[in-house]
Amino acid sequence: MTLVVIDNAWETTTSTGPTTFTLAGAASGSQSMAGIGNTNTSYFRISDQSGTNWTVVLATYSTTGPTLTVVSTYASSNSNNAVTFGAGTKNVWCVGPAESTVLAAPYAYPTVKPTLNLDFVNSNQVDPRITFVRTTTATYYDGKTTALAEQNLLLYSNTFSNAAWVATNGTVASGMTDPAGTTTAFSFTATSATATLYQTLTTTATPYTLSFYIQRVTGTGAVNLTLDGTTLTAQTITGSWARYSVTATPTAASHTIGLQLAVSGDVVNIFSSQLENRSSVTAANITTTAAITNYIPQLMTAPAGVPRLDYNPTTGQALGLLIEEARTNLLTYSNTFSNAIWTLTNATLTAAATVAPDGTQTAFNLVSNTSTGLQAIAQTVTKAASALAYTSTVYFKANQYTYSWLQISDGAGNGAIVYFNLTTGAISTAVAGIGTAFTALSATTPTAVGNGWYRCNITGTSNTATSLVTQFGSSTNGTSNSVVGNGYSGVFIWGAQLEQGSFATSYIPTLASQVTRNADQASMTGTNFSSWYNQSQGSLYCNVSVEAGNAFQALPMVIYNNTTNIGFYNSSTSNIGAEFRNNGTTYSSSLFFQTYPATLNLALTYSSGSFNFCRNGVNNNYSIPTTMPSNINYLAIGGAFTGFWQAGGIAHIRTITYYPQALSSANLQALTS
């Protein structure tokens, strides 16, 4: 892969991005991007033809398509973030961004070819020379697998007076009280025997599920649901609102689908109908002019011993090789909230209420009842009598309520709570202490995982109590967890986790016992290492995505043992550096900063008498002895050198490159800027 810039290259695209753009050919009087060459990179400006939306990116050109795959965004109309364009034709130019122009004079990219180039992001594979170890399964996103989520194939699913619905021998009236206590329900009255209310749709010969909320008003006659207009499935309707459903496999044809009252004079109230192309009912979704079919990025499980090339679930952006330290989910039955280990207070649960982040229909609906006071679900675990950092996480999705809250405490009135806005994906109310508050309280912005789901978290350093409680629920206002519910509204919940540590790691599902996800370990040894490593001089570059709230990042490191190594390290959220350790004597080069950047670009170079470290374009030279260590023979990726190999923290390793000679300071600045 080479950086190539060509002149007078202008093409168009109808892709919307933000990651991949398929090119449609050269514009008149211009040349195509083919001169860049397959798998090479270049700088591009992409804009809609009005010029309103634009972005300047570094992207990889592929002759297949041909396509551009964005590597990084330099500037854009979206506050310098990735841009998702609307429909229509966009212009694509090969350009030289300001960043490259500024760097061209004082800095220079290396001319020497690297002997090792581990590009996890663009290659989407792990080099076979890498030995990878993780003795347990682990979760991640693969960037491509999705699952069917919400679906409703009916139009105007709660506007039964609309022409999309055909009423025969019956009348429809609006303004009835619905399950939530407002007046958006309808009544359906049979004016003659066999009154029907239906829509006509074409189905395939696969399972479908039809559902209605129904409340009987008068009469005792049969109330039937039908998926084909012929097969009638009777429902036992009461005077209270309930959701009724029928599942069947109709023939591949056009069918009348809906509701039938068998007896003249009978009246029912109806609300929120739904038709899904699957074998079970999921959360209700109201449609108007268009049907709904949503998909969710599917949280995957990597088998033991299989590395995780992780992706952002909402943007599809490749994040790199995921390296995590060992962690244990201290909560049992982490997604079986109906188990007795969980304690419900003034709330009820509906199992299999909607599709969860892993693509299964295992999420619960947590509904607040009509009692006054705390409305929650909680689990208590036993811990040692010591003050340690713990992080609790839960997946939430708005249902009727759009706020959730998460609390960590000692069960005796001491702890902390944070509120989340499930519409905006933001912290609604900052962490607040309760009683004798835990220390070092924090919560990071919820992580969007697609289709309205957010993984929310709270961290606190506990007191010395031997109990630790994770508790959470819905909120009507984003400021209080003590509400008066209506017995109908709530939030969806899935995948709770409590782990010892100051930041959240990937989800670890549990059942009857606590589960540990062991550390990821990636390394090169033997000839797989010696074939590219130069003992006398060399340079190492890496690009790492930083995880928010992480106090210790796993970073690429070249090591042999605890007395001889060359590599990167960090000791806190404000200290990142490089280290040369020669037979017990340590020479470090550190650069401090107040805020952890979103991406770390790190490079170091070593040779007789000098050692230079560069972080995000800033150099820090250091003198070292003239004797080079001769026994380095091991590359640890994302490892710390305590005990020879030990993962520390969590990081996405995007790229590792090794040059077999000492590069100049200008080279390092060009690589890391």
pTM recorded for the entire structure: 0.78
- Is the per-residue pLDDT at 287 higher than 80? yes
> Does 272 share its domain with 166?
yes
- 428-484: per-residue pLDDT in tens? 998 888 888 888 788 888 999 999 999 999 999 999 999 999 999 999 889 888 877
Looking at the fold, whether 498 and 355 belong to one and the same domain comes out as yes
Whether 321 is covered by a domain: the verdict is: no
| Same domain, residue pair 130 and 251 | no
Q: Which amino acid is at 427?
A: I
Residue 154 to residue 165: CA distance in whole angstroms: 9
Among residues 540, 672, 665, which one has the least CA distance to residue 610? 665
The last residue of a domain, from among 515, 546, 564: 515
300 belongs to a structural domain: no
Question: What pLDDT score does 594 carry?
Answer: 38
Tokens for 569? 């390290």
Q: 526 and 618: one domain?
A: yes
Residues 527 and 510 in one domain: no
- 483 in the same domain as 340: yes
Measured CA to CA, the distance from residue 138 to residue 302 in angstroms comes to 5
Lowest mean pLDDT among 232-246, 292-306, 603-617: 603-617
How big is the chain by its Cα radius of gyration, in Å?
A: 30
Give the confidence band of 492 by pLDDT, cuts at 50, 70, 90: very high
> Lowest-pLDDT range, 365-374, 437-446, 615-624?
615-624
Residue 511 in domain: yes
pLDDT-based confidence at 646, cuts 50/70/90?
Answer: very low
* 121 phi/psi in degrees, rounded to 5: -70, -50
CA distances from 625 to 91, 536, 622, 633 (A): 55, 12, 10, 20
- In this predicted structure, what is the pLDDT of residue 644? 40
In the block, residue with structure tokens 């990142």:
576
Is residue 267 in a domain? yes
Mean pLDDT of the region 591-603: 61
Enter the tokens of residue 463: 């007191």
Q: Which CATH number fits the domain that encloses residue 426?
A: 2.60.120.260
294, 397 Cβ separation under 8 angstroms: no
Residue 642: pLDDT over 50: no
Domain contains 89:
yes
**Which of the listed residues 460, 482, 515 is the one where a domain comes to its end?**
515
User: Is the same domain home to 425 and 489?
Assistant: yes
pLDDT at 607: 82
Is residue 90 domain-shared with residue 127, that is, in the same domain? no
Question: Looking at the DSSP assignment, which residues form a beta bridge with residue 158?
Answer: none
Enumerate residues 6+ apart whose C-beta is below 8 A from 230. none
160-190 confidence digits (pLDDT tens)? 999 999 999 999 999 999 998 899 999 999 9
Environment class of 99 (CB within 10 Å of its CB; exposed 0-12, middle 13-18, buried 19+): middle
Q: Does residue 531 share a domain with residue 470?
A: no
Distance set, CA 616 to CA 41, 109, 596 (Å): 20, 14, 11
Structure tokens at 525: 């040894």
Interval 245-254: pLDDT, tens: 999 999 999 9
Report pLDDT for 593: 42
Closest CA to 362 of 411, 395, 328, 329: 395
Residues 6+ apart with CB under 8 A from 102: none
In sequence order, which residues have a C-beta less than 8 Å from that of residue 338 and are 6 or more positions away?
349, 351, 364
Per-residue pLDDT, averaged over 131-136, amounts to: 94
Beta strands in 153-194 (DSSP E): 166-168, 170-176, 185-190
525 within 8 A of 640, measured Cβ to Cβ: no
- Is position 2 within any domain? no
Instruction: Give the total residue count for the chain.
Output: 673
**Does residue 319 form part of some domain?**
no
Q: 417 lies in a domain?
A: yes
Residue 93 belongs to domain spanning? 10-104
The lowest-confidence range among 14-23, 101-110, 155-164, 506-515 is 101-110
Q: What mean pLDDT is predicted for residues 74-99?
A: 83
Contact 36, 107 (CB under 8 A): no
Q: What is the CATH number of the domain that holds 555?
A: 2.60.120.200
Query: What number is the average pLDDT over the span 650-671?
Result: 87
Q: Would you call 102 helix, strand, or coil by DSSP?
A: helix
* Displacement of CA 337 from its chain's centroid (Å): 22
Strands 538-546 and 223-226: unpaired
pLDDT of amino acid 613: 79
**3-state secondary structure string, 457-505?**
EEEEECCCCCEEEEEEEEECCCCCCECCCCCCCEEEEEEEEEEECCCCC
- 571's CB contacts (< 8 A; 6+ apart) are 552
Structurally, the chain folds into a number of domains equal to 4
The model's confidence at residue 584, banded by pLDDT at 50, 70 and 90, is low
Q: Quick one: 352 and 469 in the same domain?
A: yes
pLDDT of 97: 65
* Mean pLDDT, the chain, whole residue set: 87
Mark whether 493 and 588 lie in a shared domain: no
Longest dimension (CA), the chain: 101
Written as one letter, the residue type at 50 is S
**3-state secondary structure (DSSP) of residue 114:** coil
Count the neighbouring beta carbons within 10 Å of the beta carbon of residue 163.
8
- Is the confidence at residue 589, as pLDDT, over 60? no
Q: Does 120 lie in the same domain as 87?
A: no
